[in-house]
Amino acid sequence: MLNCPNEEAKGEGKAITSILEAILLALVQGVTEWLPISSSGHLALIQQMLQFKSPVFFDVMLHVGTLVVILIVFREKIAKITKTVCTKGLTTPEGKTLKQVIIGNAPMAVAYILFGREIKDMFSNATAVGIAFLATGFVLFLTLKARNVKDQLTYTDSILVGVAQAFALLPGLSRSGLTIAIALLLGIERRKAAEFSFLLAIPAVIGAAIEESITQGFTGINIFSVFVGMTIAVIVGYASLKILLQIVQKGKLYIFSIYCWLTGALVLLLSF
């Protein structure tokens, strides 16, 4: 029987004590954070199978690694938005994008404030994680019929994509998968859909790192393991994100649905 670890058990089990454990978690984070296969679902399952729990500081630094990858890959877009907004204000196209990113993160913030405890409890429910993997696969499969008819998002589009990101708080639901898929299904051009998905992730990642730091504190820190893990997460994450962007551009996001379905089925099988 497979039972995912819950938040109350953060201090239970053995913490990361070896470089190998740090490398394993970093590899999983580096790949699954970007590919549409749910990093939270994979990390919960792997930590349960190996019976160890990563310290909060390690998790926070993985979030920082995630942020670094986004800043590197989308550095030109981010620099353009920052420069334009600072010099010309929010009435520019770049200003509109910034407002859409802020608006798009509102659903996730509201969902976490209202249902944070229930969401954390889901991490201990392997059946729910398995079902979430299946749901991710279904949404990804729907993109097979997506048609690109818009090269810009409306404010309504940004809210709907933000709602998808809010659902991805649940383990097994992929943030990148759901947000890109919903944008594509709304008719957004592929490059723009992927770009907005990851710009949307910046406040979410920062918020997650701050929330974990404040509510959990830093314990069980092995600085060298953290450094190794973060470095690997950045390198692997950069490669994974580049691969995903190419796949999205080719209109083949749906290919990940098979993996999600197989993973979900396996998790459900092992949970009984």
Place of tokens 């398995």: 130
pLDDT for position 181:
98
Question: pLDDT (tens digit, 9 = 90+) per residue, 232-255?
Answer: 999 999 999 999 999 999 999 999
Structure tokens of 135? 């749901």
Could you give the CA distance from residue 134 to residue 136 in angstroms, rounded to a whole number?
Answer: 5
What is the distance of C-alpha 14 from the center of its chain? Answer: 25
Q: Is residue 9 part of a domain?
A: no
pLDDT tops 90 at residue 81: yes
pLDDT for position 216:
66
156-160: long-range contacts, CB 8 A cutoff, minimum separation 24: 157/100, 157/183, 157/186, 157/188, 158/100, 158/101, 158/103, 158/104, 158/196, 159/103, 159/104, 159/106, 159/107, 160/186
Q: Is residue 264 part of a domain?
A: yes
Place of tokens 């973060």: 230
Structure tokens of 243? 């691969």
pLDDT tops 80 at residue 57: no
Could you give the CA distance from residue 20 to residue 22 in angstroms, rounded to a whole number?
Answer: 5
Tell me which of 60-69, 88-97, 100-109, 169-178 is least confident.
60-69
Q: Is residue 4 part of a domain?
A: no
pLDDT for position 221:
64
What confidence category does residue 220 fall into, taking pLDDT thresholds of 50, 70 and 90?
low
Structural domain range at position 101: 17-270
> Domain total for the chain?
1
Q: Is residue 165 part of a domain?
A: yes
What are the φ and ψ backbone dihedral angles of 10, each rounded to 5 degrees? -55, -35
Q: What is the reported pTM?
A: 0.91
pLDDT tops 70 at residue 2: no
Could you give the CA distance from residue 190 to residue 176 in angstroms, rounded to a whole number?
Answer: 13
Question: pLDDT (tens digit, 9 = 90+) per residue, 118-145?
Answer: 998 888 888 999 999 999 999 999 999 9
Q: Is residue 1 part of a domain?
A: no
Q: Find the farthest-apart pair of alpha carbons in the chain and give their distance in angstroms, rounded.
A: 59
Q: Is residue 54 part of a domain?
A: yes
Mean pLDDT estimate for the chain = 89
Q: Is residue 7 part of a domain?
A: no
Question: pLDDT (tens digit, 9 = 90+) per residue, 12-47?
Answer: 444 455 788 888 889 998 999 999 999 989 987 887
Q: Is residue 236 part of a domain?
A: yes
